[in-house]
Amino acid sequence: MIEVTFINADGTKHIIAAAEGVSAMEAAVSNNVPDIDGDCGGHAACATCHVFVEMDWLDRTGRADSVTELPLLELAEGVMDNSRLACQIKLNETLDGLVLHLPRGQF
Ligand code: FES
């Protein structure tokens, strides 16, 4: 299992364990983590799974893809260099311990 910590804008931490191969969005939604919706089911079509990758983890997650993710992230609020669509982060053993921060809300 892969441990992922989601931190809401108010500082609340949600530490969950997910199976290898699922996306960070799927892991969050199936564990009822608030402030991440995943409205399109992970098809990179809604931007309601916007997360900020903790800087120490960016080398391992990679940055947002310019074809798939960046155009959608333009729809999200407060986008930063470490913004990603959580549905595009597939969990694997190199991401065990990953820390993702959530925006104040998803629209
Ligand atoms: S779940 Fe819709 S873009 Fe990620």
Give 10-26 pLDDT, tens digit per residue. 999 999 999 999 999 99
pLDDT tens track for 56-99:
999 999 999 999 999 999 988 899 999 999 999 999 999 999 99
Report the nearest atom of ligand 1 relative to the CA of 38: 1
Indicate the pTM of the whole model: 0.95
The Cα–Cα gap between 35 and 106 comes to 6
56 CA from centroid of ligand 1 (Å): 23
Number of the ligand 1 atom closest to the C-alpha atom of 72: 3
CB 98 within 8 A of CB 4: yes
Across the strands, what pairs with 68?
none
In whole angstroms, give the CA distance from residue 48 to residue 43: 11
